C-alpha cells in the first residue's frame, strides 16, 4: 500500500529534478513561483505532509533549532517594521500595486520558501539517515544536470558553432514537460539551457556545482571529474558573469579543502601542477587566442569600466545606490518589508537611468505590473528592514557557514563530502545574494535542512558515546 510518506517523497524528488526548469507559462496566482516547475511539486508535497500531520495529530519540525529561531525572528521583524511604517505602507502605490498588497505578496513568497519548502524537506529526511538522503538527492540532481547539459551542448553547437542543422533535433526538447526552446544569439550571446535566461542558468549552476564537485570525493575512476568539467564548460558558454565569479570562488574553496585534507593533498598538488603545465603549453601554442579570451572575460567582470556601456550594470548599481539612500533615511527599521521600490524611485541616479531602456520601458512603466528587481538582497533588506532585519539575516547566513565548517571538522572521513556540499553551497549562496534580491533559492533552504539534520546526528552520536 502506498503511504503518504512515499507520495511526498516522490514529489520532493521530482521537484529536485525540475529545479532548473523555469521557462514556461505557469499559474499567475503563484506570483514569482508561477514559472518555477519545482515549486509545483514542492507545494503539492507540502500539502501531502500537512495531511499526514493532521492525521497523525503531530507536527514534525525542528522549531527549537537556533537556525530556525533566527529565521522566525527575521519573519516576525519583517512584520513589525511594516506595522511601524503602516502610515507610509498604506499610502504606497506603484505599478498598480498597493503597499499592503505588496507586503502580503512578499511575505507569502518568503513563507513559501522558509516555511513550506523547509517543512517538506525536513519531513522527507527526518527519519532517513543523512548519508542515504544525500546520495538519493545527489543522484536525482545528477540526472537533472545531465538533461541540462545535453540541452546546453546543443545550444553551444547552434549558437557558437553555427550548426543550424541541429535545430530540428533541438526542437524535439519541447516535447519534454516545462521546456520552451529559445536561443540567445543576439545582443548578449550565451546559453541558458532549460532556464529562461542566461543569469538563471548561472544561478542554477551555482546551486549544483558543490553537488557535482562532491563526486571527486566518492568516485574512484576518472569519470568522477566529468560532472565538474561539464559545470565549467556550461559556465563559460553561458556568459553569466556572476556565475563565473561565484563558481570560481566555490572551486577555489574546494581546492583549499582538498589541500587541507591529508588524504587528497598529494593528488591535488599533482593535479594543480598538471593543470599548470597544460595551461602553459596551451599559452605557448595558442597565446593570442587565450589572451583574447581572458581579456574578454576580464572586461565582462570589470563592472566599473562597463558601467557607462552595460545597460544591466547601470540598472544593477543604480538600484543598489537607491536602496542605500532609502536606508540612510531609515537606518533602524527601514521602510517596511516589500516596500523598497516605492521609496527608491526618487533616488534613481541619473547615470543609471540616462539612455537606459530598462528604466524607460520596464522599471518606470506604470502599465508594466512587474516590480523592478533590486539586484541585491542585502541592500534590499537594509532599505526595507533596517539594520536589525539585515543583521538577523546575516546572522543566519554566517551561522550556516560556521556550522557547516564545524560539521566538516567533526564528521567522519567517509561522510566528509556531505559537509563539503553544504559548506560550498552556503558560500555560493551568500555571495550570489549580492546580485539577486529574492528568497526563492531552493538550494539554500535544502542545505539548511541538511545541515540541521547533520548537526542533529552528530549531537545524538556524541550523547550515545557519553552514555556508553
Q: Which three cell numbers stand for residue 312?
A: 544591466
Rounded CA separation 457/138 (Å): 20
Q: At what angle do helices 66-84 and 442-467 cross, to 10 degrees?
A: 140
337 near 106, Cβ under 8 Å?
A: yes
Q: For residue 361, what are the CA distances in angstroms to 341, 356, 357, 368?
A: 16, 9, 6, 8
Write down the mean pLDDT value for the chain. Answer: 89
Q: 190 and 239 in contact (C-beta within 8 Å)? A: yes
- Rounded Cα distance between 407 and 131, Å, is 13
Residue from 117, 109, 199, 116 nearest 380 by CA: 109
Determine the Cα–Cα distance for residues 114 and 378; give it in Å rounded to an integer: 17
With 70 as the cut, is the pLDDT of residue 286 above it? no
Domain ranges of the chain: 70-108+319-468
Identify which of 132, 120, 134 has the alpha carbon closest to the alpha carbon of residue 61. Answer: 120
**Beta carbons within 8 Å of 259's beta carbon, 6+ residues apart:** 265, 268, 269
Can you tell me the mean pLDDT for 24-46? 91
C-alpha 430: how far from chain center: 9
Alpha-carbon distance 228 to 234, whole Å? 10
Give yes or no for a contact between 238 and 198, defined as CB atoms under 8 angstroms apart: yes
pLDDT at residue 332 is higher than 90: yes
Regarding predicted confidence, which is higher, 104 or 185? 104
Average pLDDT over residues 119-138: 92
Instruction: Supply the pLDDT for residue 357.
Output: 84
Q: Contacts for 348-353 with beta carbons within 8 Å, 24 or more apart?
A: 348/318, 348/319, 348/322, 349/318, 349/321, 349/322, 351/307, 351/308, 351/314, 351/318, 352/314, 352/315, 352/317, 352/318, 352/319, 352/321, 353/318
pLDDT of residue 279 exceeding 80:
no
CA dist 110 and 116 (Å) reads 9
According to DSSP, residue 165 is labeled G
Cα 26 to Cα 37: distance, rounded to the nearest angstrom: 8
Would you state the torsion angle of the CA atoms of residues 77, 82, 84, 85, taken in this order, to the nearest 10 degrees? Answer: 150
**Residue of 338 and 302 predicted with greater confidence:** 338
Cα separation, 367 vs 96, whole angstroms = 8
Q: What is the mean pLDDT of residues 423-436?
A: 95
Average pLDDT over residues 394-405: 96
List, for residues 336-381, the tens digit of each pLDDT value: 999 999 999 999 998 988 888 888 888 888 888 888 889 999 999 9
pLDDT of residue 411: 85
Whole-number Å distance between alpha carbons of 381 and 257: 32
Q: Tell me, what's the pLDDT at 48?
A: 97
- Cβ burial 176-211 (10 Å sphere, 16+ → b, else e): eebbeeeebeeeeebbbbbbbbbbbbbbbbbbbbbb
Residue 278 is predicted with a pLDDT of 73
Q: What is the pLDDT of residue 289?
A: 58
List % helix, strand, coil for the chain (3-state, nearest 5).
75, 0, 25
How many residues comprise the chain? Answer: 468
Average pLDDT for residues 186-215, to the nearest whole number?
89
| Confidence category of residue 210, pLDDT binned at 50, 70, 90 | very high
Taking 60 as the threshold, does the pLDDT of residue 301 lie above it? no
**Which pLDDT does position 187 carry in this prediction?**
60
Query: What confidence score (pLDDT) does residue 147 get?
Result: 96
CB 453 within 8 A of CB 61: no
Listed in sequence order, the residues at least 6 apart from 238 whose beta carbon sits closer than 8 Å to its beta carbon are 152, 190, 191, 192, 193, 198, 201, 202, 205
Q: pLDDT tens, 232-249?
A: 999 999 888 889 999 999
Q: Which residue has the higher pLDDT, 298 or 391?
A: 391
Q: Is the dihedral angle over the CA atoms 384, 387, 389, 390 positive or is it negative?
A: positive
Hey, which bits of 227-358 come out as E strands?
none
Residue 98 forms beta bridges with which residues?
Answer: 93
3-state secondary structure of 122: helix
pLDDT, average across residues 183-200: 82
Please tell me the predicted confidence (pLDDT) of residue 285: 61
Pairing label, strands 93-94, 97-98: antiparallel
The tens digit of pLDDT for each residue in 136-180 reads 999 999 999 999 999 999 999 998 888 889 998 888 888 888 888
Q: Given pLDDT bands bounded at 50, 70 and 90, which one contains residue 308?
A: low
Residue 128 confidence (pLDDT): 85
Amino acid at each position: 500500500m502506498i503511504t503518504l510518506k512515499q507520495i511526498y517523497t516522490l514529489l520532493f524528488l521530482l521537484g529536485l529534478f525540475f529545479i532548473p526548469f523555469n521557462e514556461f507559462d505557469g499559474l499567475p496566482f503563484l506570483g514569482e513561483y508561477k514559472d518555477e516547475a519545482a515549486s509545483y511539486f514542492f507545494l503539492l508535497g507540502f500539502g501531502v505532509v500537512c495531511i499526514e500531520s493532521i492525521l497523525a495529530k503531530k507536527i514534525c519540525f525542528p522549531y527549537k533549532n537556533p537556525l530556525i529561531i533566527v529565521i522566525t525572528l527575521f519573519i516576525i521583524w519583517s512584520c513589525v517594521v511594516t506595522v511601524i511604517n503602516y502610515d507610509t505602507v498604506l499610502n504606497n502605490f506603484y505599478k498598480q500595486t498597493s503597499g499592503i498588497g505588496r507586503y502580503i505578496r512578499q511575505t507569502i513568497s518568503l513563507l513559501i520558501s522558509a516555511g513550506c519548502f523547509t517543512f517538506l524537506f525536513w519531513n522527507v529526511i527526518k527519519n532517513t539517515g543523512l548519508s542515504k538522503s544525500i546520495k538519493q538527492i545527489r543522484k536525482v540532481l545528477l540526472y537533472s544536470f545531465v538533461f541540462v547539459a545535453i540541452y546546453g551542448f546543443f545550444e553551444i553547437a547552434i549558437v557558437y558553432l553555427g550548426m543550424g542543422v541541429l535545430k530540428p533535433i533541438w526542437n524535439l526538447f519541447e516535447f519534454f514537460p516545462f521546456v520552451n526552446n529559445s536561443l540567445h544569439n543576439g545582443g548578449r550571446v550565451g546559453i541558458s539551457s532549460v532556464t529562461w535566461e542566461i543569469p538563471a542558468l548561472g544561478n542554477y549552476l551555482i546551486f549544483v556545482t558543490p553537488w557535482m564537485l562532491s563526486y571527486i570525493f566518492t568516485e574512484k575512476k576518472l569519470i568522477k571529474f566529468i560532472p565538474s568539467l561539464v559545470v565549467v564548460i556550461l559556465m563559460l558558454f553561458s556568459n553569466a558573469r556572476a556565475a563565473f565569479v561565484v563558481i570560481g570562488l566555490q572551486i577555489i574553496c574546494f581546492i583549499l579543502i582538498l589541500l587541507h585534507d591529508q588524504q587528497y593533498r598529494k593528488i591535488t598538488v599533482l593535479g594543480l601542477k598538471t593543470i599548470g603545465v597544460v595551461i602553459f603549453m596551451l599559452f605557448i601554442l595558442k597565446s593570442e587566442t587565450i589572451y583574447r579570451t581572458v581579456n574578454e572575460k576580464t572586461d565582462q567582470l570589470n563592472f566599473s569600466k562597463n558601467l557607462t556601456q552595460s545597460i544591466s550594470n547601470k540598472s544593477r548599481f543604480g538600484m543598489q545606490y537607491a536602496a542605500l539612500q532609502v536606508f540612510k533615511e531609515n537606518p533602524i527599521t527601514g521602510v517596511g518589508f516589500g516596500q523598497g521600490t516605492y521609496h527608491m524611485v526618487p533616488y534613481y541616479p541619473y547615470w543609471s537611468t540616462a539612455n537606459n531602456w530598462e528604466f524607460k520601458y520596464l522599471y518606470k512603466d506604470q502599465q508594466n505590473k512587474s516590480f523592478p528587481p533590486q539586484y541585491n538582497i542585502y541592500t534590499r533588506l537594509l532599505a526595507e528592514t533596517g539594520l536589525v532585519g539585515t543583521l538577523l539575516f546575516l546572522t543566519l547566513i554566517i551561522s550556516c557557514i560556521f556550522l557547516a565548517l564545524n560539521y566538516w571538522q567533526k564528521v567522519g572521513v567517509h561522510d566528509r563530502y556531505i559537509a563539503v556540499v553544504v559548506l560550498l553551497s552556503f558560500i555560493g549562496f551568500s555571495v550570489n545574494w549580492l546580485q539577486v534580491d529574492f528568497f526563492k533559492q531552493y538550494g539554500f533552504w535544502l542545505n539548511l535542512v541538511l545541515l540541521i539534520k547533520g548537526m542533529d546526528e552528530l549531537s545524538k552520536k556524541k550523547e550515545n558515546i557519553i552514555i556508553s
